[in-house]
Amino acid sequence: MIEECPKISGIPFTEILLNRDFASEISKMNDEYYYWDKVKYHSPEGIKPEVFWAAIKYSRTFNSKTYNFHSCIFSIFETTKMQEYLHNFDMNFGGTIASSDIISNKNRQYYLLSSIMEEAIASSQMEGASTTRKVAKEMLRKQAKPKDKSQQMILNNYNTIRYLSEHKEDSLTPELLLDIHRQITEKTLDDPNDEGRFRTDDNIFVVNGITGEVAHDPPSRKQIMDTVIQLCIFANEDKTFVHPIIKAIIIHFMISYLHPFVDGNGRTARSLFYWYMLKKGYWLTEYLSISRIIYKSKGQYEKAFLYTEHDDFDLGYFINYNLKVLNDAFNELHAYLDRKAQENASLLEYRIPGINERQMQIIKICIKTPNSTFTSKDLETRFNVSVKTIRSDLEGLVELGLLSTVPLNKRLTAYTRAENFEERLRDIKGN
């Protein structure tokens, strides 16, 4: 578990703060927002770790702001590194910047669908869903009925994300919170009555999956409604400015900390973060697979909660972690878009007069996986177009002799690569 930090009362550290040689060291510890378990290894020569820690704590508390949600009181110290992150996000995530500057209008729907799938899968995997990404994506693309609880969790997350995108103009209310939870947990709880309902007892603990130790004992159920109401006021009002991304992270933390539900608290908290970011105009959030980054650093995610609780409810740890996640997700999106741009450029070698980009993608699938079989329904979801549109694409490739039809039953027809696919492709390109 987490090592307890030293008590700083009575520790003399004024000489450190007055010594300019150590100002950069303290600034570095704050920019990384290290907890005691790392700070103690970075103490300047000749300075006891406890004294160095006391100086860091003083610099944080002296410049911090306090937030009160019923009986939950937290502090936040915004470092220069946090402010740098926020500035970069403001410049790239929203505001007046056009989405076509980063993602072309032609590809928006395709990338949006892919990112929503990734977000739904990763957020569910964090809570124990065991289905692979490949199987989960196949289920979502084919709009198939979930086969087990894991797939149901993923489908719920997927549907909830789309719902939140459509309701980003709504105000946060206890009713909206309950509705989000209901959608996220549908058909996944031991007691269906717990769907969209605040917990009715205090028999709930967050346990370390490895050691079995209790990592978090949530506040009493008696505090839930009052705290939720104050959180809603905090989300909806802007009397005192709090940067929207910081506010979104606070909402995320508070739902996780309060643990108002029997299950599904983490998924609900991350969904609210996503919703609030969209609500405040950070449109690029829809294209970021934030939960996938968190899933890959799940240990750090959990420690960010624990550090906050163990260090006088200093939310800096959780805020710093989430800003890094956003930055990593943004960089990952850029890498993904660059990779797709290279793939699209490679498609030019299959450029055939009169066919569109979707048809080129289908041709590429046939080249990479010759045994592929797909229906119009599969590709409708994949390319986020109507059945009529994708069926027209497929029939066009049949007319060119690149695809063949295969009857699945009396009503459904599938498409597969034609026997003389390569020969026809060479002939068409030759013309």
Per residue in 72-111, pLDDT tens?
899 999 999 999 999 999 988 875 444 445 665 556 666 7
Q: What is the pLDDT of residue 377?
A: 83
Q: Give residue 151's pLDDT.
A: 94
**Among 37, 134, 74, 155, which residue's Cα sits nearest to residue 318?**
74
Q: Please give the residue that has the higher pLDDT: either 308 or 420.
A: 308
- For residue 406, the 8-state DSSP code is E
Residue 110 or residue 228, greater confidence: 228
Q: Are 383 and 390 in contact (CB under 8 A)?
A: yes
For residue 135, give the nearest of 202, 147, 179, 393 by alpha carbon.
Answer: 147
Distance CA 24, CA 22 (A): 5
Q: Which residue has the higher pLDDT, 34 or 11?
A: 34
Q: pLDDT, tens digit, for every residue of 341-359?
A: 676 556 555 567 778 888 8
- Provide the CATH topology of domain 73-338: Fic-like fold (1.10.3290)
Q: Are strands 413-417 and 403-407 parallel, antiparallel or unpaired?
A: antiparallel
pLDDT value at position 169? 94
Residue 149 pLDDT exceeds 90: yes
The CA–CA distances, whole Å, from 44 to 16, 21, 48, 131 equal 10, 9, 8, 48
User: Which has more confidence, 360 or 176?
Assistant: 176
State if pTM tops 0.75: yes
Nearest to 165 by CA among 271, 94, 89: 271
Helices (H) and strands (E) in the chain, counts: 19, 7
Q: Identify the pLDDT of residue 100.
A: 46
For position 339, what pLDDT does the model report? Answer: 76
- Percentage of the chain lying above the pLDDT 70 cut: 89
Kind plus residue range of the DSSP H or E element containing 325: helix 316-346
SS3 label, residue 410: coil
Task: Give the E-state strand segments of 222-367 in sequence order.
Answer: none
Q: Quote the pLDDT of residue 98.
A: 46
- Asked if residue 51 has pLDDT above 80, the reply is yes
Nearest Cα to 215, choosing from 91, 125, 298?
298
Distance, in Å, from the CA atom of 239 to the CA atom of 214, rounded to the nearest integer, reads: 38
Q: How confident is the model at residue 175 (pLDDT cuts 50, 70, 90)?
A: very high
- Rounded mean pLDDT of the chain? 87
Q: What is the CATH number of domain 351-430?
A: 1.10.10.10
Determine the pLDDT at residue 370. Answer: 82
More confident of the two residues 179 and 16: 179
CA-CA distances (angstroms) from residue 289 to 53, 184, 303, 325?
Answer: 35, 18, 21, 10
Name residue 382's amino acid: R
Take residue 7 and report the two structure tokens written for it: 């008590």
What confidence score (pLDDT) does residue 92 get? 84
Residue 19 has pLDDT above 70, yes or no: no
- Helices 244-258 and 265-279, packing angle to 10 deg: 160
**3-class DSSP assignment, residue 89:** helix
pLDDT (tens digit per residue) in 239-287: 889 999 999 999 999 999 999 999 999 999 999 999 999 999 998 888 8
Angle between helices 376-383 and 133-142 (to 10 degrees): 110
Torsion-angle region of residue 314: left (phi > 0), alpha (psi -120 to 50) or beta? beta
CA angle 104, 108, 109 (to 5 degrees): 155
> Of residues 289 and 187, which shows the higher confidence score?
187
Q: What angle do CA 162, 163, 166 make, to 5 degrees?
A: 90
Q: Give the model's confidence band at 381: pLDDT under 50 very low, under 70 low, under 90 confident, else very high.
A: confident
Lowest mean pLDDT among 179-183, 237-241, 312-316, 339-343: 339-343
> Residue 214 forms beta bridges with which residues?
207
More confident residue, 216 or 349: 216
Q: Closest Cα partner for 390 from 401, 399, 381?
A: 381
d(CA 400, CA 424): 8
Choose between 220 and 341: higher pLDDT.
Answer: 220
SS3 34: coil
Closest by CA to 269, choosing from 424, 164, 339, is 164
CA distance 41 to 123: 34
Q: Cα separation of 90 and 83, whole Å? A: 10
